[in-house]
Structure 1
């Protein structure tokens, strides 16, 4: 089967974005690179409210230049900012971005504005030639139909399931927290690897064991990095999303699913490690907004939880995982359900 889908108009491109990001952006700038007549990388950043236009533009382009095959670019601005006085919101930022993209050799080929009610061409405000379009023209586009036919689905943020265990779970999990000896580390990593290889083997007893292991910071970090197999000396790089090859994204999805299952047997106050794990994997996939929400939930679960604070800082600074910037390594959800 031909993996390429032919897009014939702006509505098709606008339909593609929620599929590749996993959500419909809000108050965001989404930049796409073009490789000739093909779409390349997709980048989402929060709308630059009160940010310096030039600095913002330079940040965007620094990410897009990871696509070495890019010959051009597209821009979509999602916002409900009041545009009564200026029909082009963030015009200074777009102008600065256009200049930086020209300098980088990937000139801006077109741009669109999407609100909660309509979408239209960003540059052309002449309604006689560029009228505003209803949002349902995106969902009914041929591009959206083709993506759904290929098995793609736009998945929203997944709230953690409520705790369904018994009252003794908290003490059981606490009792399973390792002391940190090397044999504890190896036993925890082995149990974790077995469940990732066979998620159906996860029982309540094993869930409590893994939840307990995740309470130990060092063992937690090793279990997280074991999701993407690596050499020992690459530990720090893995946590920052720097991989020599393409991650096994199916294994990443499995790890997230297992973490959600663990939380069903883990009471509040012990869930922060699992929430951080899920958020970190979302960050690796390039879904920073989802990642930030999980880190926030982790801090609500355990106030001052250090890992959530550190990972949240990556997101707040606009840093992207290295793998999400490389089209050859990035998570591709277009053909995933």
Structure 2
């Protein structure tokens, strides 16, 4: 059952917006989309950088607005939008900042057939509507948003605490001794694991992983499936080292990432596709290729959250040089849930270690273009 919140005025509406995106946006534009009178989605994007000249700014604003509104157009049934800018800039007595950009956005929204119900700004020193000619040049007091009682009608269960992007992307603390054990095991397992897709898990590795089964699984997907069931706080160093050693191979990295997002059968299909690719099949002809780009069925969010929790522990245990594949998997899984801001944090962390890592480069392009998985636009 959905929770209905009625915002009586713009200040109430602005009090709700952070809860629609799950965190306090900064230097962002949030598109709150409506079907009829009800919100159905909230999409956040970075504000564009300021251009060197007015002409360059107009061209940039038009290009960015076209891209962003194109993304909104993929949402089924949306007929109205309220763009909201969150910025550390201030009104400063000169009116709402980023007015030229918002003008380009609202023009494009209306050209594309959307009703623009309002266009709002939350700045460092006030808030206001770009469409309200009576809005003071210094903005309206932020206290009106802070004092809003609109959220009081939500239960404690429905009112999720606002997340923090940096906290969502933070890795847990692990002991130095465990980290040293993992580093040694990664070297040992790397010598035993052949990156060629389809090779069974070496029995010595399977025994060392110590999975909670009488007979350890003998193939990569079933071994990975068993590891996914482990409590992140209780993962054995050998199991973490197994994952770290496996994902050195891009093909097997994708097996881990997509299997842990979807299911065991998906992992087996991706492994088969990797084997076919190694034999010369073109990448775009592989049945699983679309999943990487967000085309296909929506993954189970609870399973993805489980994978993220586990991979964060594995990343924390990994030697620094071995972290980029794990960090990029965390980025993709976050992106799969629609958390592009969190994905960006993981990509940045991977780039800090290896700026030329292939998947980091691909994810950087995806994020900079504002792309979202197609299942993010599916109803339900």
TM-score normalised to structure 1 length: 0.86
Q: Shift of the alpha carbon at 1:327?
A: 4.5
Give the secondary-structure state (helix, strand or coil) at the position aligned to 1:80.
coil
**For residues 141-290 of structure 1, what are the structure 2 equivalents within 5 Å?**
141-143=149-151, 146=154, 148-156=156-164, 157-158=166-167, 159-164=170-175, 165-177=178-190, 178-181=193-196, 182-184=198-200, 187-199=219-231, 202-226=235-259, 227-229=261-263, 230=266, 232=270, 233-243=286-296, 245-290=297-342
Report the counterpart of residue 121 of structure 2 in structure 1.
113
2:43 is the counterpart of 1:10:
no
Q: Shift of the alpha carbon at 1:65?
A: 0.9
Which consecutive residues of structure 2, in runs of 5 or more, have no partner in the other structure?
Answer: 52-56, 202-217, 271-285
- Select the structure of larger CA radius of gyration: 2
Q: Shift of the alpha carbon at 1:136?
A: 7.1
Identify the range of structure 1 (75-84 vs 305-314) with the bigger mean alpha-carbon deviation. Answer: 75-84
Aligned counterparts of 2:310 and 2:3: Cα–Cα separation in 1: 30
Give the secondary-structure state (helix, strand or coil) at the position aligned to 2:84.
strand
Q: Shift of the alpha carbon at 1:297?
A: 0.6
Change (3 A) 1:261 1:202: same
CA shift digits 1:197-217 (9 cap, x unpaired): 453673222122122212222
Which consecutive residues of structure 1, in runs of 5 or more, have no partner in the other structure?
Answer: 329-337
Query: In the alignment, which of 56, 61, 73 is matched to residue 65 of structure 1?
Result: 73
Aligned counterparts of 1:41 and 1:316: Cα–Cα separation in 2: 20
Aligned counterparts of 2:343 and 2:149: Cα–Cα separation in 1: 30
Report the counterpart of residue 299 of structure 1 in structure 2.
351
Q: Say if 1:284 and 1:321, in contact at 8 Å, map to a contact too.
A: yes
Q: RMSD of the alignment, in Å? A: 2.8
Report the counterpart of residue 325 of structure 1 in structure 2.
377
Q: Say if 2:90 and 2:126, in contact at 8 Å, map to a contact too.
A: no
CA shift digits 1:123-168 (9 cap, x unpaired): 225357x961325734753237626441512111231134522534
Report the counterpart of residue 23 of structure 2 in structure 1.
23
TM-score normalised to structure 2 length: 0.77
Report the counterpart of residue 92 of structure 1 in structure 2.
100
Structure number with greater CO (CA < 8 Å, separation at least 6) is 1
